[in-house]
Structure 1
Amino acid sequence: MKKQLIACLFVSALAFTTTVSSAGAEGRPAPQRACINQSVIQLKYPMQKLWIEHAWWTRSFIVSSLAGLKDQNDVLVRLLENQVDLGNIIKPYYGVQAGNKLTSLLKEHILIAGKIIEAAKAGDQAKVNQFNKDWIRNADEIVAFLTSANPNWNKQVLTDMFYTNLKLTTTEVEDRLKGDWTADIKTADTNETHLIHMGDFLTDGIVKQFPNRFR
């Protein structure tokens, strides 16, 4: 019987001690070792890729929309394709109907974002606030849908993750409108990292729910 490939990855702790002693010693991240098998990798890395695409095609759409670039509609089409892909990646575990439902909710998430961008560009704060409420409502629906499918996806944790993404995306728009390019780039990087973590959270939940498929 062919042995299953085991990939062992060395990672650094994300958090480290920042306290500096009187001698001036700084805390440093301690290396940790994590092993994941090939079947997990075949879900984990494609999931990460899709959420990275989500971050960067959303950013591209923000840039094109605010600048009134001619590629705005083409970028939107590509961004909406990403939502189809995110729905498709869960279909092997939850079925076609569930995958299509997630795609529908995520497409709504993108279209509401477009309305927020246009309202912010026009300086209409009342509409920004109105659409933001709709955006939060949509995020709550996405979380409710996902957590009803998988009890390993903690509702509060996932809600915080989606709300953080909304906040970071809004901040990207605000930074670009102010012309604060340094802050804009930093926020975009933060949003990408955040969505990678969210993708990993979703992968971990699927692996826990269907352990026999990841042996």
Structure 2
Amino acid sequence: MWTSNYITSATTAGAEDQKDVLKRLLKNQEDIGNAVKPVYGEEAGNQLTALLKEHIVIAGDIVQAAKAGNKAKLDQLNKAWYKNADDIAAFLSKANPNLKNEQLKELLYKHLEMVADDLSASMKKDWGARIVSIDDGMSHIIMMADTISTAVVKQFPEKFKK
């Protein structure tokens, strides 16, 4: 939700909330990192936060490059974004044997495609396509969260007993 809100703010001329929305979006990455600390530890939580913040910073740079029509910069940033997705997948699969690196990369790549679809629809002012991309993106991110949380519970069942 915050990613889509940022795209709206960043692609809307004169949006006053762009910095505030970005700050909230980055806070979300801290929240995710903090959520894994009870099971994976402080260092792992901080590492995940750093990887996720990198993901957001690159996404913000992609939005700016797209707005500027800078295809060369956009291509360079997309490569960095997919490399970051690879790093996130490697981190998560190393931390949890129930998460396979290739499966995570597939999920993360699909997420990147959906964010790109949201941005593209926004840039074209194709609001119908944007609504579809946001709906699809929300469903996908929930499925990703379910996949990861199921693997964590499977890895640490004693931490999730009632």
| TM interval, short-chain normalised | over 0.9
Distance 2:57 2:127 in 1: 25
Structure 1's unaligned 5+ residue stretches are: 1-55
CA positional deviation for 1:211: 1.7
* Counterpart residue number, 2:10: 65
* Counterpart residue number, 1:90: 36
Distance 2:65 2:154 in 1: 42
* 143, 165, 169: which one aligns with 2:111: 165
Distance 1:58 1:102 in 2: 18
Distance 1:214 1:105 in 2: 26
Distance 1:156 1:120 in 2: 29
The residue type equivalent to 1:210 in the other structure is: F
CA positional deviation for 1:155: 1.2
List per-residue Cα deviations over 1:169-191 (Å, max 9, x = no partner): 01111111111100011000100
Sequence identity percentage: 48
Distance 2:33 2:134 in 1: 23
Distance 1:64 1:146 in 2: 31
Distance 2:111 2:102 in 1: 14
1:62-211 aligned within 5 A: 62-68=7-13, 69-211=15-157
The residue type equivalent to 2:3 in the other structure is: T
Distance 1:214 1:72 in 2: 38
CA positional deviation for 1:213: 2.2
After the TM superposition, list the runs of 4 or more consecutive aligned residues in structure 1 that deviate by more than 4 angstroms.
none
Distance 2:25 2:95 in 1: 25
CA positional deviation for 1:123: 1.1
Please say which structure displays the higher CA radius of gyration: 1
TM-score (norm 1): 0.73
Structure 2's unaligned 5+ residue stretches are: none
* Counterpart residue number, 1:38: none
Give RMSD over aligned pairs.
0.8
Distance 2:29 2:157 in 1: 26
